[in-house]
Amino acid sequence: MGSAGKTIGIDERVRKAGLRPTRQRVALADLLFAKGERHLSAEELHEEAIEAGVPVSLATVYNTLHQFTDAGLLRILAVEGARTYFDTNTSDHHHFFIEGENTVCDIESGPVRVVGLPEPPDGMEIVNVDVVVRLRRKAGA
């Protein structure tokens, strides 16, 4: 399937999520989803867009990522202070965060059990629990 075929698929994916498939949305979605499941920040996607010749501002990248998240195409991960990562895998799963490298990766080794969750306030329900396990390279490794 050529580039045009891939764009049509991305165009449909954006449309099915309830968003108008503008040229910038489709271009950003193509960059996001063409490489399979991944985690990246708005700044990283902006850099990829510029390298790919997509004329887009960082503000537009942020807005588009949040629109994709609201539409269920992405999952948001707040793992380090002000930096937010967007995950193309929206299923329930947990993550490793490698400190010093600012890298996020999925925990693949089976279920993570979280016990002792508090009761949510009246009228609220727990929707999801995100577990981020922070890693650091061992000295000399």
Region 77-103: what's the mean pLDDT?
83
- In this structure, is the dihedral angle defined by the CA atoms of residues 65, 126, 13 and 7, taken in order, positive or negative? positive
Q: Please check whether residue 40 lies inside any domain of the structure.
A: yes
Q: Please check whether residue 13 lies inside any domain of the structure.
A: yes
Tally of structural domains, the chain = 1
For residue 95, what is the domain's CATH number?
1.10.10.10
Distance in angstroms (rounded) separating the CA atoms of residues 133 and 137 = 13
> What band does 7 get if pLDDT is binned at 50, 70 and 90?
very low
Q: Please check whether residue 141 lies inside any domain of the structure.
A: no
Q: pTM here?
A: 0.78
Q: Please check whether residue 14 lies inside any domain of the structure.
A: yes
Q: Please check whether residue 32 lies inside any domain of the structure.
A: yes
| pLDDT score recorded for residue 5 | 43
Q: What is the domain range of residue 57?
A: 3-135
DSSP code of 135?
Answer: E
Q: Please check whether residue 15 lies inside any domain of the structure.
A: yes
Q: Please check whether residue 18 lies inside any domain of the structure.
A: yes
What DSSP string describes 4-38?
HHHHHHHHHHHHHTT----HHHHHHHHHHHTT-S-
* pLDDT value at 95 more than 60: yes
Task: List the one residue out of 67, 72, 110, 78 whose CA is nearest residue 91.
Answer: 72
What DSSP string describes 89-101?
--SS--EEEETTT
